[in-house]
Amino acid sequence: MASGPADGTKRRTMSVEEAGRQLGLSRNSAYQAAGRGEIPTIKIGRRLLVPIVALERLIDPSASIPQGDA
């Protein structure tokens, strides 16, 4: 799997295909689930991205949400 950005910041989104792999779905099934709203997505231009925090909440709703410094 790809590492974070070169500047050392943590990735906040992943592709629908990456999210599908984490969920055990094929690429096509992941895009179909995203189209139905079953996988949370945001659209930036023509790209469809999955916010990592939203995917983690989907997988484990009881997981605590990390708090930032600001």
Residue 13 forms beta bridges with which residues?
51
pLDDT digits (tens, 9 = 90+) for 3-54: 566 777 899 999 999 999 999 999 999 999 999 999 999 999 999 999 999 9
Which residue do the tokens 């930032």 mark? 68
Stronger pLDDT, 15 or 65, i.e. the higher one: 15
- Residues with Cβ within 8 Å of residue 17, at least 6 apart in sequence: 27, 30, 31
Q: Do 28 and 34 touch, CB atoms closer than 8 A?
A: no
Q: pTM of the predicted model, to two decimals?
A: 0.76
- Quick one: pLDDT at residue 6? 73
Read off the DSSP letter of residue 15.
E
